[in-house]
Each structure stands twice: as C-alpha cells, then as structure tokens.
Chains A and B, each alone.
Chain A
Amino acid sequence: MVFSSTLFLFGFLPAFLLIYYSLPQKFKNHFLLFASLLFFTWGAPLFVFFVIGSLILDFYLVRKMEQAAVPKQKKYFLLASIVLNVGSLAYFKYANFFVENVNTLVSTWGAGGIVGWTDIALPIGISFFTFKKLSYTIDVYRQTHRSFDSIANYFLFILLFPELVAGPIVRYNEIADQIIDRKDKETIDNKLSGLYRFIIGLSKKVLIANVLGAEADKIFDSSFQLVNTADAWLGIIAYTFQIYFDFSGYSDMAIGIARMLGFTFPENFNSPYSSQSITEFWQRWHITLGRWMRDYLYIPIGGNRVESKKRLYFNLAFVFFISGLWHGASWTFIVWGCYHGLFLIIERIFLNTFYSKIGKLPSMLITFFIVMIGWVFFRAEDLGDAMLYLDKLFVVDLHPTYQIYLIDFYVILGIAVILSFMNLLKFQQAIEKSIYFNFYSNKKTLVLGLICYTLLILSASAMISASFNPFIYYRF
C-alpha cells in the first residue's frame, strides 16, 4: 500500500488518524505499532514473521552488547548484530543477483554446473529498515543514545509506517526520545503543518512525477530503434524530474504524517538540482542516506582523515559503490554509484578549482548535466540498454519520431523545472520556510488550507482516474 493510493488516502490514513487521536496517550504507541505492523503485513505478508524474529533477536543482541562489561564482548555482540542485519539484506536483496552473475560467468567459461536457485522475493522497505536497525546497534554501541527499555518501542522505531517503505532514514539517536515521549509535539500547529506537508508531497508525486513518469516510461520502455535523439533527451529530462518529485514527494508525505503524530523527521531533499558540484548534490539529495553513509561507513573507514589521497579516493569510491548497490541489485545501480563516486574524486582532483573559476551558474548547469546522465544508468533495465540509450543521446539520430507528447506533459515539465530551481530566488526560500517550518496565523491557515484542499481534490482525481480506460462499445 503506497501513500498515493486510494486505499491509503481514503481508508487507512483517516481511520488511523481518527483512532490514534481518540486514544489516551498511553495507548498511542501501541496502536501506532499495530497500524505499522498491519501496513507492513499488507505489503509483505510472509516476510513479517522473519522481520519479527530478526527484530527480537537484534533487540536482545543489542541489549547484551550494552550490558557487556568487557569491550571485546561488546564488539562481538556488535559484530553479531551487523552480520545478522547485513546478512539478511544480502540474502533477500542480493542473492538472486549474485547467483545470476555466477551462472553467467560459469556459462561464459563453459564450465557447466550452473547453480540451481529459486528467486527470492524482495520484501518491501528492507534496505531502509536494515539501515535503521544498523543505526540502532551502532548508536547504542557508540553510546550516542541508550537502548530502548521496551521491545515494543524498538519495534515501533523500526516499523514506523510513515518511513517504512521509502525513508527518510531516521537514525536512532534522532528519534529515540520522540518514540518514548512526544506529547509536547502533538500540537495543532504540528498536525496542521504535517497535514499540509503530506498533501504537498502527494501532489508532487501524483500531479507532477506521475505525469512525467508516464512519458519517461514510454520512451525508456520502447525499442530504442524507434527513439530519436530528441526523444532520448526528452525521456531523460522527464525522468530526471520524475525521480526528484517522486522521491521528494514521498519524503514530504512521510515527514508530514510523522509530524501529524508529533514526530520530527529530518529533511531528505533540499533543491538538489541547483547544486554546484556533485559533493553539494549529495548534501541536498537523499540527505538522510548521505548522512547515514557518512556516519556509519565513510567515517569508520577513515573518511577524509587519511594519510594519502589514494586512500581518500578509495574511501569515496567504496562508499559510492556501496551506495549504488544499496539502491538495487543490478550492475546499473553499481555503475550509477561508481559514476557519482568518480565525479566526487574528480572534483577533489581538479573540478572544484574549475568550478570556482567559471562561477555559480555554469557550475550548476554542469553538475545538473552530470546528474542527469547518471540517471540513464539508474533508469535503464541493464547496462546494454544504458549504453544504447547513451548512444541515442550523443550520436545524432534525426529519424522522425513515433512518440506522441501531449501538451500537459510540457506544461508539467515546465512547472517541475521552475519548482526545482526556484530556490535560486530568495523569496522561494522564504515561502518554503513559511509553509514547512513556521507556525501559521489564522489567515495563513485558511489560505494554505484552501490551496491544500484544492491540491488534495486534484490529486485524488488524478489517482482515481489513472486506471480508468473505458471502451466505447463493448462488443466491438
């Protein structure tokens, strides 16, 4: 069940909120956990038993780790917890990929003996909650925060439904206290701004990302022989903005729902396409993943504080290799991650100096271009397709198009471009701050209410009618 579905918007969410707000404070977390389990079970019915088992095991491993008096013992428990979590992720997410590649190698060498394997279904949100579980283990190990006393709270932290499927990746030390007590944060201001944030996120997903996505899909899913250079550029531009509005919209919805419940989730996007370098891009794109990688992987392997530049470049490349792999079990994601890692290294070697000479706008355009080309790998089905698509982009092919673009696509694309780069204007930053972070006056409540109500109806309308496709005459 995704947030942008009729069942969630007009079923699960209002029913959940009604019951949640009606309950006395002491029962709220119990109900929230129940709802989160229901939400998870709906999407991954079989996997839920494994998750419950692994959560129980992990909770007690971490408790033992915290209680251990000897540092060595602590380390063993830390290692056990990490192996449990990374092992589960590796099994569920990467086993198919691994076996597939081994079999390809075996058949290429003609060695025979292909490994028999039944494909494993990928459980929803596994990448996200594994990172949350690791964050819990490591934060407790580092004594950044004490572990939870109650296992129910631990379950709630991991399975909290607003961030279960697509983040933001909330670290344990950021939210631990809010899980236990957030009574003071359950104010009408937070509820209202959370609701508005949710609706804005829904609109970004349904009214912008889905329209752009439909066109991008048409181009990426068609045979590339039918795609000319103009189509290819339009396709990748559409996808570039689709993925931003899709993902940031989903993050907005998650942050919004959480705020309605009194939680404060960290921001996940900050106008990433106006970045002036890839380094800056990763400070603005999927911020919570970037911070997670920095704090739990990059810094532990040495980070910037290493003796040689070679080691620094290795660290960067390694982190972005892992980041690519985290996004999906496919060579395309690995190449995408390495591509970003490569530019981070190049920036440190000479590109940053070049950027400082050419000024802000050219730097921003170059960065945007690099990011956009990177999305070809992210979107393509396999590396062969990615290379064919790049060929379409850069080797001019002017054969007439078979694609049909409707005017709404261009209008929505225009809106997406404006919204993505509006942060360059100071007044946009003020508006965003005013909507997302400030308390509302009565007048602002009503004006924003009217805008959000309109957006809600438009989004619902687009959502419900998405699958409507009637025939004129049934018998024909």
Chain B
Amino acid sequence: MEKTKHIPSLTVKHFVFVFFIISLFFPLIQQHLKLIKEKPLEGFFNIEDYPTLAIDKWKNGEFQKQFETAYNDQIGFHDFFIELQSQINYSLFKISKIQSVVVGKNGYLYVRNYIDAVNGNDFMGSAYINLQIEKAKVVDSILKQKNITLVFAIAPGKGSFFPEYIPDAHKTNNHPDSTNYACYKKAFAKSSLNFLDLREYFLKIKDTCRYPLFSKAGVHWSEYASYIAIDTFKNYLEQIQKISLNKVTIKDYNFEFPARPSDYDAANLMNTFSIIPHYKMSYFSFKYNFAPLSKTQKLLVVGDSYYSCIKETKIPYYIFDTVEYRLYNKPEMNKRNDAEKYSTILILGTDGTLNQYPYNFIDQLYEHYSSYDQNYKNLKLKEFRMYTHKVLENIEKNKKWKNLMLKNAKKKNINPTEEFVNNAIWLYYNQ
C-alpha cells in the first residue's frame, strides 16, 4: 500500500525536475536550431561577436568577458526575454528601462535628452552662448556681403512642446530660465541675426491646430508639423528676401491607426509585445503650385533629425531649386568651403541638440572667415575649443575639482554644466 503511494509521488517530482533541466537547455536549442520564429528587436544595438581564443586575451580575462557578453547577446529567445522585460516594466510600472525613452504622464513617450533640455541639465551657460552668437555675427556679416541669407531657427522638441506630460520624477529643473533655448532667444533678440522662433510659434498654435503636431509615441514632430515648419520658413524667407517662392498646400489627408513608424519610433524602441496606446495620426498629400522663380534658390540646411522629417515630406524640393541637408554632428560641415554656393543657409536646431548649436558649421565658417576680421582673429577658435574641452574632461576626472565647481554652482544658483563651461572659458582667457 505504501509503495503504491510512493511511486506516483516520485514520478511527478521527476517529471517536474527533468522539465526544469530541459527548460534550461531551451535557449541554447533555440539559438542553434531556431525552432520558434522570434520577432526581431527594433532600434540599433550592438551584438557582441564570439572572440577568437588567444592566450593573452585569456590571461587578462578579456576573452571570458567578451565570450560571456556574446553568449548573452546571441542566446536563443534573447529578443523574447527583452520584450518580456519591457512589457513588464510598461504594464506594471508604466516605465521604460531603455535608457533613452521616458514614459510620461498619460502614456506620452519622450526621448530623455529633450527632457534634459527642458530641465536645463545641458545648459551651456550664457558666456558660451554669447560667444557662439558673436561668431555667428561675424559669419553672417560676411555672408551678407556675398548675398547669402543666413537664418537661424529653433524648433520645439517634444519635451518643450508637451511639458505637461513630463513625469514629475523627471522635473528636476531647478533653474527654469537657465536653458539653452531661453539664452539663445535672448541673445538672438539682441542681435540683428535672422532668427525664426518655431518653438514659440508652435506653442502658440498648439491648442488650435486641426491635426496633431506631435505624436504620442514618437520622437519627432508629425508630418503636419513638418509642413507647417517649412511653410513658415518659406513665408519668413519671402518676407526678409522680398521674393516669392513656390507655394505648397494640403491636397488631401487621412487619419491612420496605428501610426506610421515615424510617429511610433519611441514606442518601437521600447520593444513591448503590445502596441503602446497612442492617438490616430494624420498623413497628407500636397498640392504644388509652380511658378518660375525670379532668382535661383539654393538652400543648405544644417540641422538635427527634426529636419529629416521635413525632408521626408519632399516639400523643400518643390519650394527651392536645390536643397542640401547636412546632419548637425558630422565633422566636416563646410566641406571644400562650399557654403557660398547657396543662396540661403538654414541652421535648424531643436531642444535636444541646442547644447551643440549652431553646430560645427558656424565654427568652421568662422574659422574660415576669421582671417577677414581682425577683431576676432585673436580668439584662436581651434585652440579655444580644444582647451575648454580638455578642461571639461579634467573637471570630470578630478572629484575634488568637480565638487568645488558643484559647490560654486549651488552658491550661484546656476546649473553645474554652466559652471563647468564658465570655468573652462575663464581658464582659457586667464592662463
């Protein structure tokens, strides 16, 4: 009797134990046999390769480290496990552990650097920004003599457009006026430079717009916002150049759900199983009214990814004769000193990249033109940039120095970054 009781008990336990052990082999089996088709992950990420065995690498542990990373990256169900983790984070806590994505109130998604910009965490300080404006003035005055129009534009990032949905935990702006945007706006207002404040304009029309200017689950502005932006720029140009450019109007539109990938890219990056809730987005076809232009219009745009959205609409190619786009963070901006080929140069920035504004382009043109202008020649831009960069690096490395800077920033009630940059500038001029 006791025996008959004992056997089934053992059978269940054996079955469960064996099932667990086999389960531990599942990922390895899947890795090699690919029995179940997995949905590939969205976004760009590195998958470590298995290292080749070398004695030196083995001795210093580099081989083992790389092998373990490769094993983790290439294991079967890797993508499933990541999606599961993402889904749990989103469903249970309404958060994203993907470093760059922040889940805001009401499910609005943000990319972190746009929130940092609103918080002023990347504020470069007024000394640095005024220096950029001074350089821009030199470049602008020279370009003007060559009949080239230089326009600076700042567009809203998603953080500044939807500040109301930024999660409270991320609202760490202790100095509301110390943002790159606020400082540039003030500096542009004081100068005679052409400045188009798209951010202010978009916030003005935000509540009255017929179609969404930003999506809930995307990083950038919508197709409609791109249209409004390029149309506003066109009108601005017509006004300052006293010319007439080709007109583009909306022909037709439709609402789509789910939104197209361009309006769902932040959500895609989260890699959840389920669709992240968002609203319908509008997509357009445009009508183009061509008329011969009085003068050949060649446009050069230097901008961040927000201009890519405008480029996608293809509208600029109907307004201007030629359009060239240079991404803001490329090292060679003024290649072959060809800026003078264009009739108009637009430098378009958004919150997230304003800490690098007006990008290498103005720096390089300034360097090129500084020989024309004796007043600014002594700035020795190249050395200045290298020096300040070095100082910033040293501050980061030296905990005592960094602590002192942070203490000073606290005393002066300014952001730490501003204090670092000011310190670097001061050292440059005084050492």
Q: Which residues of A are found within 8 Å of B402, using beta-carbon distances?
A: 223
How far is A407 from B329 in the complex, measured between Cα atoms in Å?
Answer: 35
The stretch of A10-18, A148-156, A308-316 that contacts the partner chain: A10-18
B93 and A440 form a contact (CB under 8 A):
no
Interface residues of A in 1-31 (CB under 8 A from B): 1, 5-7, 9-11, 13-14, 17-18
Given the contacts A9-B24, A460-B81, A473-B305, A441 and B9 also touching, CB distance less than 8 Å: yes
Give bound CA distance, A471 to B329, whole Å.
16
The yes or no answer to A380 lying at the interface (CB within 8 A) is no
Interface residues of B in 79-125 (CB under 8 A from A): 81-82, 84-86, 88-89, 92-95, 97-100, 111, 121
Q: With the chains together, A154 CA to B410 CA distance in Å?
A: 60
| B406 contact from A5, A225, A401, A462, Cβ within 8 A | A225
Partner of A458, one of B10, B17, B88, B111: B88
- Is B327 part of the binding interface, using a Cβ–Cβ cutoff of 8 Å? yes
Is A465 engaged at the interface, CB distance under 8 Å to the other chain?
yes
Stretch at the interface among B40-48, B149-157, B379-387: B40-48
The contact of A400 among B61, B172, B327, by CB within 8 Å, is B172
* Contact with A470, one of B16, B44, B89 (Cβ below 8 angstroms): B44
Cβ–Cβ contact B93 & A411, under 8 A: yes
Q: Which of A452, A456, A461 gathers most chain B CB within 10 Å?
A: A461
State whether A223 touches B21 (Cβ < 8 A): no
Choose among B61, B329, B399 the residue that contacts A476 (Cβ–Cβ < 8 A): B329
A267-310 contact mask (Cβ, 8 Å, vs B): 1 or 0 = 00000000000000000000000000000000000000000000
Contact residues of A between 393 and 410, Cβ < 8 Å to B: 399-402, 404-408
Given the known A-B contacts A406-B169, A461-B82, A472-B100, are A449 and B45 also in contact in the complex, defined by CB atoms under 8 Å? no
Q: Given A188-B10, A195-B20, A476-B304, A467 and B72 touching (CB < 8 A)?
A: yes
Which of the 9-residue segments B62-70, B206-214, B290-298 touches chain A? B62-70
Closest to A260 in B: B17
In the complex the two chains form, what is the Cα distance from A458 to B91 in whole Å? 14
The dominant DSSP class at the A interface is: helix
For chain B, residues 357 to 411, give those with C-beta under 8 angstroms from any C-beta of chain A: 399, 402-403, 406-407, 410
Q: Is A442 an interface residue (CB 8 A)?
A: yes
> In the complex the two chains form, is A10's CB within 8 Å of B17's CB?
no
Q: A473 with B13: in contact, given A408-B93, A467-B72 (CB under 8 Å)?
A: no
**Once the chains bind, are B407 and A407 in contact (CB under 8 Å)?**
no
Shortest Cβ distance from residue B8 to the other chain A in the assembled complex, whole angstroms: 7
Query: At the interface, yes or no: B23 with Cβ under 8 Å from chain A?
Result: yes
Complex Cα gap A464–B86 (Å): 12
Q: Mark A88-123, 1 if CB is under 8 A from B, else 0.
A: 000000000000000000000000000000000000
Residues of A203-240 contacting chain B, CB below 8 A: 223-226
Closest residue of B by beta carbon distance from A410: B93
Q: Does B269 contact A (CB under 8 A)?
A: yes
Complex: A42 Cα to B68 Cα, angstroms: 11
Other-chain residue from B58, B85, B98, B219 in contact with A461 (beta carbon distance below 8 A):
B85
Interface residues of A in 439-474 (CB under 8 A from B): 440-442, 445-446, 449, 452-453, 456-458, 460-465, 467-474
Is there an interface contact between B75 and A464, defined as CB atoms closer than 8 Å? yes
A183-208 vs B, Cβ < 8 Å mask (1 yes, 0 no):
00000110110010000000000000
Chain A hits for B172, CB < 8 A: 400-402, 404
Residue B12 lies at the interface, judged by CB distance under 8 Å to chain A: yes
Inter-chain CA distance A453–B271, complex, in Å, is 23
Looking at B8, B9, B86, B305, which has the most chain A CB atoms within 10 Å of its CB? B9
**CB nearest neighbor in B for A14:** B24
| Contact A7/B93 with A442-B12, A461-B84 known, Cβ cut-off 8 Å | no
Bound together, the chains give a CA A427 to CA B425 distance in angstroms of 65
CB of A190 to closest CB in B, whole Å: 10
Complexed CA–CA distance, A441 and B16 (Å): 12
How big is the B interface, by class?
A: 35 or more
**Does A387 make an interface contact (CB < 8 A)?**
no
Neighbouring B residues of A414 by C-beta, 8 Å = none
- Partner of B17 from the list A6, A7, A192, A472 (CB cut-off 8 Å) is A192
Check if A404 sits within 8 Å of B17, measured CB to CB. no
Q: Secondary structure of the B side of the interface? A: helix
Is A433 positioned at the interface, with any CB of B under 8 Å from its CB? no
Interface string of B247-263 (1 = CB under 8 A from A): 00000000000000000
Q: Are B13 and A470 in touch, CB under 8 angstroms? A: no
Q: What is the 8 Å Cβ interface bit string for chain B, positions 153-177, against chain A (1 contact, 0 not)?
A: 0000000000000000110101000
Query: Given the interface contacts A10-B28, A460-B81, does A470 sit within 8 Å of B45 by beta carbon?
Result: yes
Residue of A nearest to B9 (CB): A442
Chain A residues in 8 Å Cβ range of B61: 43, 45
Nearest chain-A residue to B13 (Cβ)? Answer: A188
CA separation between A169 and B168, bound complex, in Å? 46
Q: Please judge, given known A-B contacts A7-B72, A464-B81, whether A470 and B403 are in contact too, CB under 8 Å.
A: no
Residues of B contacting A1 in the complex (Cβ-Cβ under 8 angstroms)? 64, 68
| A9 contact set on B, CB distance < 8 A | 24
A72 lies within 8 A of chain B by Cβ: no
Which chain A positions have C-beta within 8 A of B28? 10-11, 14
Name the interface residues of B6-46: CB closer than 8 Å to any CB of A.
8-10, 12-14, 16-17, 19-21, 23-25, 27-28, 41-45
Q: Check B349 for interface membership: any CB of A closer than 8 A.
A: no
Contact check: which of A406, A411, A456, A464 meets B72 at CB < 8 Å?
A: A464
Confirm or deny: A419 has a beta carbon within 8 angstroms of a beta carbon on chain B: no
Q: Return the CB mask of B324-359 against A: 1 if under 8 Å, else 0.
A: 000101000000000000000000000000000000
Nearest-CB distance from B403 to chain A (Å)?
A: 5
Nearest CB of A to B209, in Å: 25
Contact of A10 among B24, B170, B305 (CB under 8 A): B24
Q: Does any Cβ of B come within 8 Å of A346's Cβ?
A: no
Q: Is A449 a contact partner of B59 (Cβ separation < 8 A)?
A: no
For the complex, give the distance between the alpha carbons of A223 and B397 in Å. Answer: 11
| B78 part of interface (Cβ distance < 8 Å) | yes
Contact B68 A470 (CB under 8 A): no
For A45, the chain B residues whose CB sits under 8 A away are: 58-59, 61, 64
Residue A475 is within 8 A (CB to CB) of chain B in the complex: yes
- CB neighbours (8 Å) of B94 from chain A are 407
CB of B316 closer than 8 Å to a CB of A: no
User: Is the beta-carbon distance between A226 and B82 smaller than 8 angstroms?
Assistant: no
B266 within 8 A of A: yes
CA distance A399 to B9 in the complex (A): 62
Give Cα A1–Cα B72 distance, bound, in whole angstroms: 12
| Also in contact, A446 and B86, with CB within 8 A (given A401-B172, A465-B97, A470-B44) | no
- B327–A475 CB distance below 8 A: yes
Q: Are B24 and A42 in contact (CB under 8 A)?
A: no
In Å, the complex CA distance between A42 and B62 comes to: 11
Cβ–Cβ < 8 Å partners of A445 in chain B: 12-13, 16
A contact residues vs B (CB 8 Å cutoff):
1, 5-7, 9-11, 13-14, 17-18, 42-43, 45-46, 188-189, 191-192, 195, 223-226, 399-402, 404-408, 411, 440-442, 445-446, 449, 452-453, 456-458, 460-465, 467-476
Query: Which 6 residue pairs are nearest across A and B when measured between Cβ atoms?
Result: A470-B43, A225-B406, A14-B24, A474-B44, A470-B45, A465-B85
What are 21 pairs between A and B in contact, CB < 8 Å? A1-B68, A7-B67, A10-B25, A11-B28, A14-B24, A188-B10, A188-B14, A195-B20, A225-B403, A406-B169, A408-B95, A442-B13, A445-B13, A460-B27, A461-B81, A465-B81, A465-B86, A469-B100, A470-B271, A472-B44, A472-B219
Residues on B lying within 8 angstroms of A by beta carbon are 8-10, 12-14, 16-17, 19-21, 23-25, 27-28, 41-45, 58-59, 61, 64, 67-69, 71-73, 75, 78, 81-82, 84-86, 88-89, 92-95, 97-100, 111, 121, 169-170, 172, 174, 219, 265-266, 269, 271, 304-305, 327, 329, 399, 402-403, 406-407, 410, 416
**A43-B64, A188-B13, A470-B45 known, 8 other contacts, Cβ within 8 Å:** A7-B67, A405-B169, A407-B93, A445-B12, A445-B13, A449-B20, A453-B20, A470-B42
